[in-house]
Amino acid sequence: MTAIHRTPSRGLASLLVPLLIGGLVVLALGVYGRAHTPTGHAVGVAGFSGALPMKAWLTTGAFVLAFVQVVSALSMWGRLGIAIPPAVHRWSGRLAFLLTIPVAFHCLYALGLQYDVPRVLAHSLLGCFFYGVFTAKMLALPKRDTPDWTLPVLGGLAFTALVGLWLTSSFWFFTAVGVKV
C-alpha cells in the first residue's frame, strides 16, 4: 500500500469553509447547551442500569476505536511499515462517531452545558469542540488542495478531544463510582 499524498497547497483558503463551519458547530452546540433548559431525564439507556453507565461505556468504546483510528491513519500515511486496509480506518471512525451520538444527545438534552464544576465544564467544552473539529475534518477530507498537515492536525485534535472527553467522563465514572453496567 502506498502512502497518501495530497497535492501541493494553494494556501489555507481551501480550509476556510470547513474551519468556519466547524467553528459554527462548536458555537451552536455551546449556545444550545447553555440556552436549552435541561430536562434532567435520561434518554435511551437500553441495556444499561442508567444514563451514567451508558455514557461511560459508549464513550469507552469510542475511546478504544480512536486508538484504532490513530494506528490505521499512521498506516495509511506510510508511517508504520505495515498495511492496514483503509476500510479499517473508515469503519472504526464511523462506529466511534455513532457511539458518541447517544452520549452527546443525552448530555445536551438532559444536562446542557454546565460550568459550575471544573471537570464538568472541561467536559462540556471538549464535547462541543470534538463535534466542531470532527465536522471540519469531514468537510476537509474530500478537498485535495488543503495543506498536507490538514488531516493529521484535525484528526489529532479530534483524538485529543475524545481522550479528554473520556478522561473527564468515563475514567472519572469508573474511578469515582465504580465499574457498572
CA–CA separation, 33 vs 111, rounded Å? 8
Identify the band that residue 140 occupies on the pLDDT scale cut at 50, 70 and 90.
very high
Q: Is 71 within a domain?
A: yes
Q: How many domains does the chain have?
A: 1
Predicted pLDDT of residue 95: 97
Predicted pLDDT of residue 10: 54
Identify the band that residue 120 occupies on the pLDDT scale cut at 50, 70 and 90.
very high
Predicted pLDDT of residue 181: 63
Q: Is 20 within a domain?
A: no
- Could you tell me what percent of the chain has a pLDDT over 70? 93
pLDDT tens for each residue of 52-83: 899 999 999 999 999 999 999 999 888 888 89
Degrees, nearest 5: CA angle 87-83-64: 60
Q: In the predicted model, what is the mean pLDDT of residues 134-160?
A: 93
Q: In the predicted model, what is the mean pLDDT of residues 168-173?
A: 94
Q: Is 15 within a domain?
A: no
Q: Is 166 within a domain?
A: yes
Contact 128, 26 (CB under 8 A): yes
Q: In the predicted model, what is the mean pLDDT of residues 120-127?
A: 95
Q: In the predicted model, what is the mean pLDDT of residues 108-130?
A: 92
Q: In the predicted model, what is the mean pLDDT of residues 141-154?
A: 91
Q: Which domain holds residue 58?
A: 49-176
Q: Is 56 within a domain?
A: yes
Q: In the predicted model, what is the mean pLDDT of residues 34-58?
A: 85
Please spell the DSSP secondary structure of 64-124, one letter per residue: HHHHHHHHHHHHHTT-SSS---HHHHHHHHHHHHHHHHHHHHHIIIII----SSHHHHHHH
Q: Is the pLDDT of residue 9 over 60?
A: no
* Side chain identity, residue 92: S
CA–CA separation, 52 vs 140, rounded Å? 33
Contact 143, 94 (CB under 8 A): no
Contact 105, 32 (CB under 8 A): no
Listed residue (133, 109, 145, 116) closest to 33, CA to CA: 109
Q: Is 128 within a domain?
A: yes
Q: Is 120 within a domain?
A: yes
* Mean of the per-residue pLDDT values of the chain: 89
Q: Is 5 within a domain?
A: no
Out of 8-22, 30-44, 83-97, 166-180, the most confident range is: 83-97
Listed residue (150, 111, 104, 152) closest to 128, CA to CA: 104
